[in-house]
Amino acid sequence: MVPSYVPLSYYLMLGGFLFACGVVGFLIKRNIITIFMSIELMLNGVNLSFVAFAAHWHALAGQVFVFFVMVVAAAEAAVGLAIIIAVYRTRETLNVDQVNLLKL
């Protein structure tokens, strides 16, 4: 239950802020781990707005969605971290600009 004295817009603004932080981090950071964390940040920004809307409209679908997102994010984190470790082992760097073997 969302207490009635915290308006919906606050949650949305916080969610938007988190999402924006994620976007900016994704765009300007070169370290893969930081980028990875930025993606998590974006996902959580979206999750926050989902639950906020779900509470506001008394609709459970939004919360169900969030669980799905969290499951996928967890799986993604496992795979993603494994890839990062594999990359570090072969290239000995975590700078994305240097991981460019597939580029033309």
Partner 1 sequence: MNPNLNLWLIPILPLAGAAINGFLGKKSSRRAVTTIALFFSGAAFAWALWVALRFSSLSLPYQEYLAHWIRSDSFSADFAFYLDQLSLVMLLVVTGVGFLIHIYSVGYMWDDPSYYRFFSYLNLFMFFMLTLVLANNYLVMFIGWEGVGLASYLLIGFWFTKDSAASAGKKAFIVNRIGDFGFLIALFLLIKHFGSLNFEQVFQGIAPLGVETAGAGLLTAIGILLMVGACGKSAQIPLYVWLPDAMEGPTPVSALIHAATMVTAGVYMVSRSHTIFERAPTALTVVAIIGTLTAFFAATIGIAQTDIKKVLAYSTISQLGYMFMACGVGAFSAGIFHLMTHAFFKGLLFLGAGSVLHACGGEQDMRKMGGLKSFIPWTFLTMGIATLAIAGIPPLAGFWSKDEILWKAYQVSWVYWAIGVVTAFLTSFYMFRLLFMTFFGEYRGASVEAHGSHGHDPHGHDADGHGGPHESPMVMLVPLMILALLSLVGGFVGWGHHFEHFLAPVFGSVEAAEVASHGTELLLMGVSVALAFLGAWLAYVLYCSRPELPQRIAASLGGLYQTVVHKYYIDELYGALFVKPLIDGSTRILWQDVDRKVIDAAVNDAGDGARHVSDEARHMQSGNIRSYAGWIAVGSAVVIAFMIWMAVGR
The contact set with partner 1 (CB under 8 A) reads 23, 26-27, 96-97, 100, 102-104
The 8 Å CB, 24+ separation contacts for 12-20 are 12/49, 12/52, 14/45, 14/48, 15/45, 15/46, 15/47, 15/48, 15/49, 15/52, 16/45, 16/49, 17/45, 18/42, 18/44, 18/45, 18/48, 19/45, 19/46, 20/45
Nearer to partner 1, 26 or 65 (CB): 26
Nearer to partner 1, 21 or 55 (CB): 21
CB of 104 to partner 1, least distance (A): 6
Nearer to partner 1, 38 or 47 (CB): 38
CB of 35 to partner 1, least distance (A): 8
CB of 97 to partner 1, least distance (A): 8
**Collapsed DSSP state (helix, strand, coil) of residue 97:** helix
CB of 48 to partner 1, least distance (A): 18
Nearer to partner 1, 34 or 44 (CB): 34
